C-alpha cells in the first residue's frame, strides 16, 4: 500500500524502490506501470507508462578489457605488443546488469591510474583507439575502462601492452645461420698495452682453418686499438675481428691508437662461415635484436626456411620448412632436413604479435656441401739449385667441388703421401693465388 500523496499533488501513489529492485534479476530489465483509475459509478480506465530502467543497487560488474592491434581492429584477439607508434586500441566486454552505464577510457602505467591519457567519455560500446604523443615506444601501458551507473563505478584494465618502433627491428634485426657466435664457447685473454705495439701469444689452441670471432665487451675497443698477425687471416666484421688461423697458437700484434695505457679482456669464439655449410640433417637459425634480451619476452618470432630453384633464368622461391613460432627465444633448430646439392636456401624471420607479422628479414643465402671438395694437381715442378743444396718447387692445383668457402690453402713437401715426414714448412696460399714458389728447402 502506498503512502498518501502530498497535498495539492494532483494525485499520485508511491511504491518501495527496494521491492522493485529485488525483482530486477535480469540483465537490466525494463519496467513499466499499469495504472487503473475507477470512479464512483464503477467506470474505469487503464493507462500504461513508458518502459524504464530501475536505478542500480550495485556498481557495474567486472569488465574484460583486451588490447587490440591498431591495424587489425576487426580481430578481437588480445595482444601483448604492436608496432604502431603513439596509438593504442582496446575492446571490452562485461559491465552488464545495469541501467545507463557510461563509459570512460584512459591509458596508464599501472592498472588503475590514467596518468598517460586521462579518462575521457565515449559513446563507443565495444572498442576505441586513443592517440597521444605521450604513448612512446618500449614501455608497457595499460588500457583502462571506467564504467559508471547509479550504483557506483567499476574500473577494469587490460593486461598491458608494449609498443615497438617497427623501423628499428626491420632495419637492425640480423638473421644468422648457426648459433649466435657471442653465446658459444669463448676463449678469453687479458690484454695490457703500455706501448704503441704489443705482441700477444694466445694461450689456447685454435683449429687451423676454422673461423673465429675476436671481440671485447668494451664497445669502443676497436677505436682504441687495431690487431694484425702473420699467423692468420684477419678481417673486420661488424666492429669485430674475424680470425682464420694458419697455426694452432697464433701470435697477435696489437697496436694502440691512443696515447694511454689500455687494459681489456679479449674474447675469441668459434664462428663458422654461413654461405656454405657441411652436410647435415639439422640446421640452427639465430637472430639478434637491437634491444635488451628482456624484449624477447613478449615478441612472437615466426621462422621458416626458404628454397630457391632456378626456373627460366630466374630464382623461384618456395617454402622448404614451414614457419614455426616462438616467444622469448632467439634461436631455433630445424630437424630432419633433406637438403639438396647446388640449391640455394635462406632463413626468414618475422617479428609478430598474436594477429599479424612485420615484413620478413632474411639471412644470407647458403648452400649445403654434400661432399667435401677434392684437390687435383695441375702441375708440379722441382728445380735443383745452388749445386744441389736447394731446390725450387712450383705447384698449381684446382678444386674439384665448391671452392667458394676456401679461406686459404696450405702445402708442403713430404717424403710420404700423408705428410708425416715433412721436408719444408707448411706454406699458406690465398685462393686468388694458386701458384707459389718456395726456395731453400733442406733435404737433410
Tell me the domains of the chain and their CATH numbers. 1-54 (no CATH), 63-163 (2.60.40.10), 179-270 (2.60.40), 276-369 (2.60.40.10), 374-438 (no CATH)
Q: Are the CB atoms for 147 and 124 separated by under 8 Å?
A: no
The rounded distance, in Å, linking the Cα atoms of 298 and 243 is 36
Predicted pLDDT of residue 2:
56
Under DSSP, is residue 183 helix (H, G, I), strand (E, B) or coil?
helix
**Nine-digit cell at 246?**
694458419
Q: What is the pTM of this model?
A: 0.73
**Strands 251-256 vs 197-201: parallel, antiparallel or unpaired:** antiparallel
For 195-211, how does the pLDDT look when each residue is reduced to its tens digit (9 = 90+)? 777 888 888 888 888 88
The rounded distance, in Å, linking the Cα atoms of 32 and 48 is 7
Predicted pLDDT of residue 162:
93
Q: Which residues of the chain have pLDDT under 50?
A: 293-294, 434-444
**Nine-digit cell at 376?**
687435383
The rounded distance, in Å, linking the Cα atoms of 124 and 43 is 50
Question: What are the residues whose beta carbons fall under 8 Å from the beta carbon of 374, sequence distance 6 or more?
Answer: 399, 400, 401
**Nine-digit cell at 223?**
677505436
The rounded distance, in Å, linking the Cα atoms of 98 and 24 is 10
Under DSSP, is residue 223 helix (H, G, I), strand (E, B) or coil?
helix
Q: Are the CB atoms for 134 and 99 separated by under 8 Å?
A: no
Rg (CA), the chain: 38
Place of cell 596509438: 87
Predicted pLDDT of residue 148:
93
Helix (H) or strand (E) holding 278: strand 276-278
Amino acid at each position: 500500500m502506498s503512502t498518501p500523496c502530498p497535498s495539492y499533488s494532483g494525485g499520485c501513489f508511491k511504491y518501495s524502490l527496494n521491492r522493485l529492485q529485488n525483482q530486477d534479476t535480469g540483465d537490466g530489465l525494463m519496467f513499466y506501470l499499469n495504472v487503473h483509475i475507477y470512479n464512483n459509478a464503477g467506470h474505469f480506465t487503464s493507462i500504461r507508462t513508458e518502459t524504464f530502467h530501475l536505478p542500480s543497487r550495485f556498481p557495474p560488474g567486472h569488465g574484460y578489457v583486451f588490447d587490440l592491434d591498431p591495424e587489425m581492429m576487426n580481430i578481437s584477439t588480445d595482444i601483448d605488443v604492436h608496432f604502431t607508434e603513439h596509438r593504442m586500441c582496446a575492446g571490452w566486454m562485461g559491465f552488464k546488469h545495469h541501467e545507463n552505464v557510461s563509459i570512460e577510457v584512459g591509458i596508464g602505467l599501472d592498472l588503475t591510474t590514467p596518468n598517460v591519457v586521462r579518462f575521457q567519455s565515449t559513446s563507443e560500446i565495444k572498442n576505441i583507439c586513443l592517440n597521444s604523443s605521450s604513448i612512446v615506444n618500449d614501455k608497457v601501458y595499460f588500457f583502462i575502462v571506467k564504467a559508471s551507473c547509479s550504483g557506483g563505478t567499476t574500473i577494469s584494465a587490460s593486461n598491458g601492452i608494449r609498443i615497438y618502433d617497427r623501423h628499428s627491428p626491420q632495419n637492425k634485426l640480423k638473421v644468422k645461420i648457426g648459433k649466435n657466435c657471442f653465446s658459444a664457447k669463448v676463449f678469453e685473454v687479458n690484454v695490457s698495452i703500455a706501448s704503441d705495439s704489443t705482441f700477444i701469444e694466445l694461450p689456447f689452441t685454435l683449429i687451423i682453418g676454422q673461423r673465429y670471432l675476436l671481440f671485447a665487451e668494451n664497445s669502443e675497443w676497436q677505436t682504441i686499438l687495431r690487431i694484425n698477425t702473420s699467423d692468420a687471416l684477419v678481417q673486420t666484421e661488424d666492429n669485430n675481428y674475424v680470425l682464420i688461423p694458419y697455426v694452432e697458437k697464433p701470435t697477435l700484434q696489437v697496436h694502440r691508437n691512443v696515447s694511454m695505457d689500455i687494459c681489456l679482456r679479449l674474447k675469441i669464439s668459434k664462428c663458422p662461415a654461413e654461405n656454405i655449410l657441411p652436410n647435415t640433417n639439422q640446421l640452427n637459425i639465430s637472430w639478434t635484436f637491437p634491444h635488451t634480451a628482456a624484449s624477447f619476452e613478449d615478441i612472437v618470432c615466426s621462422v621458416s626456411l626458404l628454397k630457391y630453384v632456378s626456373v627460366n633464368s630466374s630464382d623461384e622461391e618456395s617454402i622448404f620448412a614451414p614457419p614455426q613460432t616462438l616467444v622469448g627465444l632467439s634461436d631455433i633448430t630445424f630437424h630432419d632436413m633433406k637438403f639438396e646439392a647446388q640449391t640455394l636456401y635462406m632463413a626468414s624471420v618475422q617479428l609478430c604479435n598474436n594477429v599479424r607479422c612485420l615484413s620478413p628479414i632474411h639471412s644470407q643465402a647458403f648452400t649445403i656441401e654434400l661432399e667435401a671438395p677434392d684437390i687435383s694437381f695441375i702441375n708440379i715442378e722441382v728445380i735443383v739449385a745452388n749445386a744441389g743444396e736447394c731446390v725450387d718447387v712450383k705447384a698449381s692445383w684446382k678444386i674439384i667441388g665448391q671452392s667458394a668457402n676456401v679461406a686459404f690453402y696450405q702445402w708442403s713437401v713430404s717424403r710420404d703421401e700423408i705428410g708425416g715426414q715433412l721436408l719444408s714448412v707448411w706454406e699458406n696460399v690465398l685462393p686468388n693465388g694458386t701458384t707459389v714458389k718456395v726456395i731453400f728447402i733442406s733435404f737433410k
